[in-house]
Chains A and B, each alone.
Chain A
Amino acid sequence: GQQLNQSPQSMFIQEGEDVSMNCTSSSIFNTWLWYKQDPGEGPVLLIALYKAGELTSNGRLTAQFGITRKDSFLNISASIPSDVGIYFCAITQGGSEKLVFGKGMKLTVNP
């Protein structure tokens, strides 16, 4: 199956710091998605990217679809305690919008 390489695997930061994470693949994709999963919950979509080079913001979150279409990054600025959770990159595969997920990045924010 398709492999998405997501890094880093975990981060421990202080409240107020910025954090960056990225996702790479050996294949080209038309859509990159970023999800957040809170403990005990299902993933929730944060940002969807549909065009190479596209830079999209959602509040303190900014994500970019790489020019090569093989990578994407997500930035969180001025982190707050509720940013704690696991962040996943994902791509859609095939005509049925099947999701393939990266392994996730566990974020811990110390107040």
Chain B
Amino acid sequence: NAGVTQTPKFRILKIGQSMTLQCTQDMNHNYMYWYRQDPGMGLKLIYYSVGAGITDKGEVPNGYNVSRSTTEDFPLRLELAAPSQTSVYFCASTLLLGLAGVYTDTQYFGPGTRLTVL
């Protein structure tokens, strides 16, 4: 298994440009997440998905959009890039089964995408 893969690894955008950060997992995990990590800070949740066709906002969703058309893929879209979106973006996935939120796996993180908006 490749685990969680993210592309691109690095990207520089100009203010107002748009781009899509790709995330794919091959572990058949149902839950997927997007986090951003600013320098000297922990990760903050942008959006998450509990399965294909279902997405929901996290702590810092403004300026981003997501979709989940398949179990494997969870792309993150930036429509109008702003300097405040300069960050490292991590995608993660986990397998959540059963009732009452009992999960049988941990969150696996991708290697990250380092985005700079100038």
**A interface, CB within 8 angstroms of B:** 1, 4, 6, 33, 40-45, 48, 88, 90, 94-104
Contact = CB atoms under 8 A, between A and B. Distances in A.
Give the dominant DSSP class at B's interface: strand
A75 B4 CA distance: 29
Given A40-B112, A42-B92, A48-B106, A96 B50 contact: yes
Contacts, number: 63
Give the contact-size bracket for chain B: 20 to 34
Interface string B90-102: 1010101000110
Give the dominant DSSP class at A's interface: loop
Contacts of B40: 103-104
B31 interface: yes
Contacts of B100: 95
B75 interface: no
